Amino acid sequence: MATSDFAETDFEGAPSRLAIDPQAVARNYKRLAALTKAECGAAVKADAYGLGMAEIAPHLAKVGCRTFCVALVSEGLALRRLLPDATIYILNGVFDPPAAREAGLIPFISSLDALDAWPDDLPFVLNIDTGMNRLGVALPDALQVTRRPVMIASHFACADTPHHPLNALQESAFRAARSAFKDVPASFANSAALLTRPQSHYDLVRPGIALYGGTASPDLAPLEVAVRLEARIVQVREVETGDSVGYGAAERVRRASRIAIASLGYADGYLRAAGGTNETNGAPVFVNGHITRLVGRVSMDLVALDVTDIAAKRGDYVEFIGRNVPLETVAQKDGTIGYELLTDLSRRAVRRYGPL
């Protein structure tokens, strides 16, 4: 639902709701930008990591962000309509040079074939593989490139693990590339490297997850929380000791319990792995001032939570991600990372943009 079509009653009455604070993202950007002498850009790919690029990018621009990274040309075209004067890089490259030319989009060129297909008169970033073995021109080939890029770039594979030996190996390879492009600006650092590897900042840093309140590294505290996902209780029921809850009878309660059923499931992007079993506790949730946990499997549209010791009733909201239930805590339970949760945020929740 677009902000202009939004009514507060829609939010307050919604079975599930997603509060997103663009100002928190902007404040996180300012904190990150203050940590470096390089220009601080922003990764707003994947619809600003699921939070809504149309709402987030203008707030970033208002606090001084001038350079943005997206993955796809379609994202770049949408962003250009929002920010006519921004520098926009396309990380996955371009197959349609005329469209990129018209919109002033600058691709990361990651192979010699792509470089051959890119017009000589258009700017490009030479993306160099320094050891991640994902996108990027191999270093020996990059050193033979004679066309002048507007920037050289690479990407860390393990910056979220600061002591991983691959970080130093990648930095060494990038220094070799820098020696061949001495007067060309360089960009290497993502969120984690911005926070832990100042030697990799160069001319442009490209934070992503840290902008949105995610943890860029297990050793680092997240920045300001920017999102809260909630869903309403639709029923509270009594179950007896030993009764199973949910599909597959995956979990049986160990005591007589009150179980609340809330209107959220994997169809909303809340991962099935968050559920509980007889061997493992379900993900934490927060209801009426108390932390509790999920019971049994997450199903398509519903989850169950233990409210035996909590005053909870039909219509109460449960926080699934937010200040009281950190994104990374849920991600760890799900066996994934905050990036995946954010980019798959509830498809059906009513969204409100403003303070949490």
- Which residues are known catalytic residues? 45, 247
Q: Which of 159, 146, 155, 139 is nearest to 204 (CA)?
A: 155
> Helix (H, G, I), strand (E, B), or coil: what is residue 144?
coil
Q: SS3 breakdown of the chain: % helix, strand, coil, rounded to 5?
A: 30, 25, 45
* Cα(265)–Cα(260) distance, integer angstroms: 14
Cβ pair 217, 241 in contact under 8 A: no
Using a 10 angstrom Cβ sphere, with 0-12 exposed, 13-18 middle and 19 or more buried, the burial of residue 62 is exposed
* Dihedral-angle region of residue 330 (phi above 0 means left; psi in -120 to 50 means alpha; beta otherwise): alpha
Cβ pair 343, 50 in contact under 8 A: yes
